[in-house]
Every structure is written in structure tokens, then in C-alpha cells.
């Protein structure tokens, strides 16, 4: 059984997989102060609720955009699962694709994994839109290579900025408002953020397609993608488990003969 770990800026996801199937997933807040023992106790207890023993885990793969969390996560893998994890970004870990950008090592591990997953599952060329702490747009060519993209502030960051910068604006939840024109402060804020992001998505996709000058599929992922997918027809596919399937693919690639080309990434966006 493979344990796939995706450490994001806000949340971390731990998933147990068998072949291409995801058997169970758990999510926690990313906390750089969490120790290896805290990770291990938390995860093994949750696994026990699913009648899964630590010794059933035979391999682990990790992608992180938070370097400070990696040490304790790796320590947890060694102590509680007796496994040396594959870490996306290590020079020995092959992705089988190339990062065709000015500084390949600056590309976030999650973005490369998403690109690999999107190409394998849906083909290319494609745009991968990930709704995380930041909203990222990543361009994958027909061979699966990473060709750059766009980084925009995430939805929750925008809401937080409105609340913190304007004394009289409250903290609100993101939701699709019934009408564009709000009749109260909360409705106005929700409309601005929601429909503003719909416009951002459609506008950036249109500009990327015009610059690429070729058809591009659009794949959406991240926790908030279903909320926005219902308001626009820009998405060809919505896949909330895109990153996890990419980690499964990374493990499969590195369990066989190394690919002829590879891309490396640092754990940062």
C-alpha cells in the first residue's frame, strides 16, 4: 500500500492508495511546529479506524511546498512506517517530464505533480487550475512538459485582505450569491470575490489560449473548484484528486527504470 502525502501552504493531505485507487484520505492544517511523533500518532490512529496497520504501508511519496515541514514528515515516515519516502524535488526522483522555464528548480513540487497527473489522465496540451492558498494556472504541452503559468492570490486570501484592510468590512465565507448586485455589505463582498474570480478564471484562460495559439484543455483541481465550475463552462475536467493521482504516478515511475528526462522542483510556488 502506498502512502501519498501532499503538504500545502494551508492544508496537508495524507492518502492511502492501492494501484490507481485511493482507499482513504485525511487532511490536517499544515503546521511547521508539528513533530514527527504528532504526525505519527495522528495518522496511525486514523488508519486504525479504517482497520489499516502501519506495516501495510510499503512505500511513501511526498510533495511539499513548505520546506520547514519536510524534516518532521520524513521523520514520521521512517519511525512509524519504516519507509524512506520519495520526495518530489530530490535529484534522484524522476518525473519523466521537463520544466521548460527560466529557473526549473523554482517550480513548486505540487505544480509539476499536477501537470504530470493531468497529462496522464486527460492528455495535453492543457491548463491546470489549482484553487489553493494561491490560485495557479499551469500550462502543460502535448508531451506533458511544464511550460510556465500564472500565480494569482487565492480566494480566501482575497477575503482575508478585504477584512483586514477595511475597518468596516466583516469576515465572510465564500459562496455563490443569488444575485450579482448585493443588497448588503456581506452580499456585496461575496459577489465581488465570487464573480471576480469567475472573471479572473475566464479571462486568464482566454489570454493563455490566445498566447499559446492552439487548443488547450482546462483541468480544475483544489477544494473550491466545484464551487466555481458550476458558474462557468471553461473547465473540461474537474478532478479533486489530481495531485494524489500525480503522486501515484511519481511512485510508479520511480519503481521502474528511470525516465530519460526529468524535472526537479524546489518546495515552493
**What positions carry a catalytic annotation?**
110
φ and ψ at 104, to 5 degrees? -55, -35
Question: Which of the 8 DSSP states describes residue 73?
Answer: H
**Residue 8 in marked binding region:** yes
pLDDT digits (tens, 9 = 90+) for 177-208: 888 998 888 888 788 888 888 999 999 999 99
Burial of 33 (0-12, 13-18, 19+ CB in 10 A): exposed
15-20, long-range: CB < 8 A, 24+ apart: 15/241, 15/244, 15/247, 16/47, 16/50, 16/52, 16/57, 17/244, 17/248, 20/245, 20/248
Centroid of chain to Cα 190: 24
Q: What is the pTM of this model?
A: 0.83
pLDDT digits (tens, 9 = 90+) for 215-267: 899 999 988 888 889 889 999 999 999 999 999 999 999 986 443 334 444 44
3-state class percentages of the chain: helix first, strand second, coil last, to nearest 5? 40, 25, 35
**Residue 110 in marked binding region:** yes
Q: Which of 12, 65, 4 has its CA nearest to residue 34?
A: 12
Q: What is the torsional sign of CA 223, 229, 235, 237?
A: positive
**Residue 31 in marked binding region:** no
Domains parsed from the chain with CATH numbers: 2-87 (3.30.420.40), 123-243 (3.30.420.40)
Amino acid at each position: 500500500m502506498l502512502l501519498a502525502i501532499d503538504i500545502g501552504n494551508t492544508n496537508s493531505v495524507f492518502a492511502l492508495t492501492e494501484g490507481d485507487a485511493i482507499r482513504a484520505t485525511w487532511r490536517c492544517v499544515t503546521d511547521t511546529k508539528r513533530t514527527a511523533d504528532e504526525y505519527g500518532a495522528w495518522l496511525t490512529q486514523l488508519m486504525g479506524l479504517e482497520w489499516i496497520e502501519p506495516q501495510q504501508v510499503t512505500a511513501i511519496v511526498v510533495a511539499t511546498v513548505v520546506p520547514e515541514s519536510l524534516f518532521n514528515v520524513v521523520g514520521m515516515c521512517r519511525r512509524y512506517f519504516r519507509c524512506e519516502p520519495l520526495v518530489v524535488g530530490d535529484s534522484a526522483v524522476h518525473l519523466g517530464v521537463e520544466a521548460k522555464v527560466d529557473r526549473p528548480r523554482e517550480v513548486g513540487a505540487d505544480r509539476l505533480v499536477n501537470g504530470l497527473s493531468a497529462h496522464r489522465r486527460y492528455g495535453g496540451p492543457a491548463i491546470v487550475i489549482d484553487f489553493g492558498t494561491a490560485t495557479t494556472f499551469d500550462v502543460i504541452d502535448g508531451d506533458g512538459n511544464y511550460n510556465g503559468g500564472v500565480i494569482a492570490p487565492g480566494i480566501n486570501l482575497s477575503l482575508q485582505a478585504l477584512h483586514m484592510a477595511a475597518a468596516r468590512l466583516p469576515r465572510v465565507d465564500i459562496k455563490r450569491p443569488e444575485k450579482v448586485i448585493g443588497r448588503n455589505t456581506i452580499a456585496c463582498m461575496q459577489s465581488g470575490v465570487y464573480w471576480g474570480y469567475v472573471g479572473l478564471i475566464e479571462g486568464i484562460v482566454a489570454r493563455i489560449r490566445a498566447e499559446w495559439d492552439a487548443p488547450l484543455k482546462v483541468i480544475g483541481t483544489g477544494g473550491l473548484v466545484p464551487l466555481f465550475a458550476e458558474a462557468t463552462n471553461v473547465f473540461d475536467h474537474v478532478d479533486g484528486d489530481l495531485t494524489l493521482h500525480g503522486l501515484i504516478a511519481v511512485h510508479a515511475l520511480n519503481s521502474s527504470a528511470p525516465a530519460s528526462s526529468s524535472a526537479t522542483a524546489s518546495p515552493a510556488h
